[in-house]
Structure 1
Amino acid sequence: MKTRYAIIGAGPTGLGAARRLTELGEKSFVVLEKNSHPGGLAASFTDKKGFTWDIGGHVVFSHYEYYDRLLDELMQGEYIEHLRESWVRALKSWVPYPFQNNIRHLPNQEKWECVRGLLPGERSETTPDNFREWINSIFGKGIAKYFMLPYNYKVWATYPEKMSFSWIGERVSVVDLRSVLKNIILEKDHLSWGPNNKFRFPLKGGTGSIYRKLAATVADHIKYNTQIVSIDQQAKRLTDSEGNMFEYDHLLNTAPIDILTASWLTSPSEQLINAADKLKHNSVIVAGIGLSSSKTDPRCWMYFPENDCPFYRVTNFHNYSPRNTPIPGQGRALMCEVSYSKDKKLDPAKVVQEVEDGLINTTLLSDTERKDIISRWSINVDYGYPIPCLQRDEALQILQPALESMNIYSRGRFGGWKYEVSNMDHSVMQGVEWAQRMINGEPETTYRI
């Protein structure tokens, strides 16, 4: 098969590219998807008991007019709008998120440690070399100790000293001593920080319903169950596991860039292989605990920095939509995320049981509520988060220009490997902007090399 544009992956980036190519009048393209369904890491699943689960705690918010219009078209008003309510479990207390803005909820001794760490002369004023040093210099030793360091190790499954801080941007709320003291003395909470303070969620079908509908608009161009095994970059030819070949002029890759470089390319240079090897990622197990019983709890999601549970985040997924449970509006769906890596190992066979125990340890469930559990679902995601490790930017500065010289463009959560632009809106727009670059020569603005 010969085509002008080949796209690897029918996740948000690949589908965004396909949709935009169609809008711009381009018909010569194909989307090759290894799974039997679209959505990638934004897919959703319904388990045998009728609970709907996402692959992690996705929420719909946007920085882009194009993405907003696309969502309006796809969801057609069938969504629920939420005001974020999120909390942190620390020191047997529930602290409103962001933790650093609401430390008044901590016990007095730990509250003082957090304040003392913010006082003049307590924080280093030298330029930090890594994420750990950045945390200590921005938040002080108290906030670092009780939340920032343990939580970030838990979510990234990577020691913070092995990470850079160039990705921060709007991802982390920094802290102001004046505001902290004001909130403590006036007993006020600061809750509205962040771009996802207000978000939408599909009424039915989970986040994946968005991308199933998007895929339907370009369905004639998608080939499912197509696993790429090699790319001859000189001949501009893809080969799948069945021996089918696809010739292309331009290639958009949304699969992990390290797999593309080290496993698929024909005879990649040693420089490219070494650069790809510098990229690090964690893995995530999403465990869904479905209960028949209901309980009023307005929280959207909760963060867990401590060791009394394996998960770093739990989402009250039944709050996102009443149709996420078998009987709409009844029961509970607790979606729990657990990370692992070479630096943070676990036994996947024991995770669901450990999650269940952790829900009890953190008071989200009582021991007597075990009898109400009617579903235990899980999915093991090998590529969970692209880690902004110390070598990431250097590696990408080698990989991306070299690939583009071959007419290969690598974008998306793992294709681009930039966590700071891998929300769903970012991911879709990376595909959209790539298509506009190909057809109209417009510069990309979301993903920059």
Structure 2
Amino acid sequence: MITTEVLVLGCGWAGITTAYYLLDKGIDVMCIDASTALGGLLRSETHDGFIFDVGGSHIIFSSNEPVLREMLSFLNNNVVTHQRRSFIWLMGTFIPYPLENNLHILPLELRVEVLVSLFESLLQLSREHGLRPSNLREYIIYTFGKEMAKLYLEPYNQKIWKRPLDSIDIDWLSIPGRLPLANWKDIVKSCVGLPTIGYREQATFHYPLSGGIQALYNSVLKKAVAKGLKLVKGVKIKGVKRCRDVWVVNDAFKAKKIISTIPLREIVNLMDAPEDIVKLAERLDYNSVAVIGIALKRKAPNMHWVYVPDEDVVFHRYAWVSNYSPHNVPNPKRHSSLLVEITLSPRDKVLLEPEKLTEKTLNGLKDLGIISESEKEVLFTKVWTHKYGYPVHTFQTNKAREHILKFLSDYGITAVG
């Protein structure tokens, strides 16, 4: 039986960074991952000279300067810096993102409606002392006003969550950067045509110059291995049990401490957990994500990514990842690449039909005028699906998650990621 001080279950980004910082403190660490191709949602693949980030469009940014410096230090000089050029496809045109900072592009009458509805929400909050949003729909309306909610934020979030927005809790909004906050002064300036910059911490972002987003993961992995990380690849975790003062995994690995980065639904089923905890784990809701990579024989437009709230288009976002780095394609003057993201309910059977996902994606891109009807510029496509894409924070799941995390903590397992 192989013995270690700390055993990390899962070796994606959360797992490898946890291992790295523990090793930095002189702690003996082993990482186990079911895949032989490491990287998790930060994995990149190369096909015919095109590099695709299989977990979707990922960039490097943070409002925390020390954290940002640390991430960039891992890459050394293998980094390129961009000023964000992202858009929202709305009313048949590309409006720069965030919408609230670019309202001057909208027709005058609509701008007035947006501004009036925002101040109606602000007045309601000021008059009704103690009034606070209790769900995501109320949060959007109170923060941005009914008109902006109806125009963009409600339809877009509906595509992301696949649930009624009034069933989504808002505790996750306390995490900095998860949803950009509106500044009413910026909205007023935007309505009258004065330029403002929204979501400032993301306005400048970074990306690996070569190797795709996995270059960030690989740089930490290399440093962790140099510090003595013991790495086990291609081993699926089948059982986790407590034997006196040690943990035993798969009857093959023994550790004093376990840190789990695998989904809570999965770790609970791997343990001899009480029936009530198992039932709570079944309540944890999530959405799956499909990522479609498209190689094109044409130059990319001057864009990074585009949000698509249109309910008739299957995807919610697409990204010109060839603009993230010129090394993501064979020749940036003649080639480009797209990553298209589709949120799916776990009950959606289309998750199991890559051909149908590709067909719906290409049809959506045609509808937006991104590719031609003949698809003659499409060289090839790839599809990757991820069962656990987004945790869905409903009121029911939040209580279940709290109980499960407490159970794991009391049992001696730390859950991260």
- 1:299 pairs with 2:303: yes
Q: CA RMSD in A?
A: 2.2
- In structure 1, the residue matched to 2:270 is 264
How far apart in 1 are the matches of 2:104 and 2:206? 30
Determine which of 335, 342, 359 is the counterpart of 2:365.
Answer: 359
Q: Which residue of 2 aligns with 1:396?
A: 401
The reply to whether residue 171 of structure 1 matches residue 178 of structure 2 is yes
Q: Which of 274, 280, 287 pairs up with 2:279?
A: 274
Q: Counterpart of 2:319 in 1: which secondary structure?
A: strand
Are 2:189 and 1:182 equivalent residues in the alignment?
Answer: yes
Identical aligned residues as a percent? 25
Distance 1:342 1:20, change over 3 A: closer
CA contact (8 A) 1:30 1:221 kept: yes
State how 1:227-266 maps to structure 2 within 5 Å: 227-235=236-244, 236-240=246-250, 245-261=252-268, 263-266=269-272
Task: Give matches, 1:67-86, under 5 Å.
Answer: 68-69=69-70, 71-72=72-73, 74-86=74-86
Amino acid corresponding to residue 254 of structure 1 in structure 2: T
Query: Shift of the alpha carbon at 1:139?
Result: 1.7
Within-5 A mapping of 1:187-206: 187-206=193-212
Compute the TM-score of the two structures, normalised by the length of structure 1.
Answer: 0.83
Name the aligned partner's letter for residue 283 of structure 1. Answer: S
- What is residue 314 of structure 2 aligned with on the other side? 310
Q: CA deviation at 1:65?
A: 2.4
Amino acid at match of 2:111: K
Higher strand share: 2
Mapping for residues 38-187 of structure 1, pairs under 5 Å: 38-47=38-47, 49-54=48-53, 55-62=55-62, 63=64, 65=66, 68-69=69-70, 71-72=72-73, 74-120=74-120, 124-125=124-125, 126-169=131-174, 170-185=177-192, 187=193
Distance 1:320 1:329, change over 3 A: farther
The superposition leaves residues 249-281 of structure 1 with CA deviations (integer Å, 9 ceiling, x where unpaired) of 1100000011101x1011x11332233223211
Q: State whether residues 289 and 356 of structure 1, in contact with CA within 8 Å, keep that contact through their aligned partners in structure 2.
A: no
TM superposition outliers: structure 1 runs of 4+ over 6 Å: none
C-alpha distance in structure 1 between counterparts of 2:38 and 2:396, whole Å: 32
Aligned to 1:20: 21
Aligned match of 1:338? 342
Q: Which amino acid letter does the alignment assign opposite residue 181 of structure 2?
A: V
Distance 1:67 1:275, change over 3 A: farther
The Cα offsets for residues 354-399 of structure 1, whole Å up to 9 and x where unpaired, read as: 111111212222335x111102011011111122222343223212
- Contact 2:7-2:257 within 8 A present in 1 as well: yes
| Farther-moved stretch of structure 1 (345-354 vs 246-255) | 345-354
Amino acid at match of 1:373: V
Structure 1 residues 108 and 17: CA distance shift in structure 2, 3 A:
same
Q: Greater shift after overlay, 119-128 or 34-43?
A: 119-128
1:94–1:105 contact (8 Å) kept in structure 2: no
Aligned equivalent of 1:444: none
- C-alpha spacing 1:204/1:142, structure 2 compared with 1 (3 Å): same
Greater shift, 166-175 or 351-360, is seen at: 166-175
Alignment partners' CA distance in 1, 2:389 and 2:410: 28
Instruction: Give 1:327 deviation, angstroms.
Output: 2.8
Given that residues 93 and 105 in structure 1 are in contact (C-alpha distance below 8 angstroms), is that contact kept between their aligned partners in structure 2? Answer: no
Residue 128 of structure 2 aligns with which residue?
Answer: none
CA shift in 2, pair 1:363/1:204, >3 Å: same
Residue 21 of structure 1: CA displacement? 2.2
TM-score with structure 2 length normalisation? 0.89
Contact 2:115/2:191 (8 A) holds in 1: no
Q: Which residue of 2 aligns with 1:216?
A: 222
Conserved in 2, the CA contact under 8 Å of 1:308 and 1:361? Answer: no
